[in-house]
Amino acid sequence: MDGTVIINTLNEDTELLKQSVDAYENQVGADVEIIISTVSGDNNMRLIKSMGHTVVVTPKSRHPSYSPEGSFMQLNAGIKKITTDWACFMSSNDVALPHKVAQEIELCLSNDKLVCYSAYTETQQDLTPIRTTILPPYNRARHQTGNFVSDASMINTELWTKYAPFPWKKYGNFCYWDMWLRMYEDLGDVFICNTNPTWLYRQNGGMHMKPRPEGYWEKKDLMLSTHKL
């Protein structure tokens, strides 16, 4: 069973980056292709190139200095390098549990689904558990009301081919959200929810989706429905 992970990184704490990469090098039940997507001038460039994985480097001059738009540019570069039927993303300070890749691919295959998103355990920087977040079954209405997108979702490469790249210039932090909405509208319920945690998410004050005011999504829907990649 083969899967790809794109690890986004930029000037990450070296030990945290090693832990993230190591977690995918030691997956059980799956052969994993690791793509490390970074930016020219990354403090860890020598280490990244020494790891023996596919490395994609975004030119610094084209990389916004703020998150998350620069991250979407890195993901778009990494997506082009996927060679397996399944792929996911992982931030360079988060850690996959040993069966993540195999478990999520198996769930998709056994349920005839194209996307698997999983529960995850929020942790301190030292991986001490804080709480486990179990996401509900996907539906479009729920997806519009809160921080629902799991950036470590396992997605069939057929969908990356159809829906990538992320139009980050137009949507900024809504790029991933926009893609899931369009997938649902085009294909229906292609999502499977895994209630078993498959990854560890370090709480580090990053930017994340927040619930939006009443009426917000009516305007956003108009934007999404008129947008063509």
Mean pLDDT of 75-89: 96
In this prediction the pTM is 0.88
Question: 13-69 pLDDT, tens per residue?
Answer: 999 999 999 999 999 999 999 999 999 999 999 999 999 999 999 998 877 776 677
**Cα dist from 221 to 104, 169, 182, 195, whole Å:** 30, 17, 10, 29
Which superfamily does 2-226 belong to?
Spore Coat Polysaccharide Biosynthesis Protein SpsA; Chain A (3.90.550.10)
* CA distances for 9 relative to 48, 175, 196, 229, angstroms: 10, 18, 26, 26
Q: How many CA atoms lie within 13 A of 72 on its CB side?
A: 22
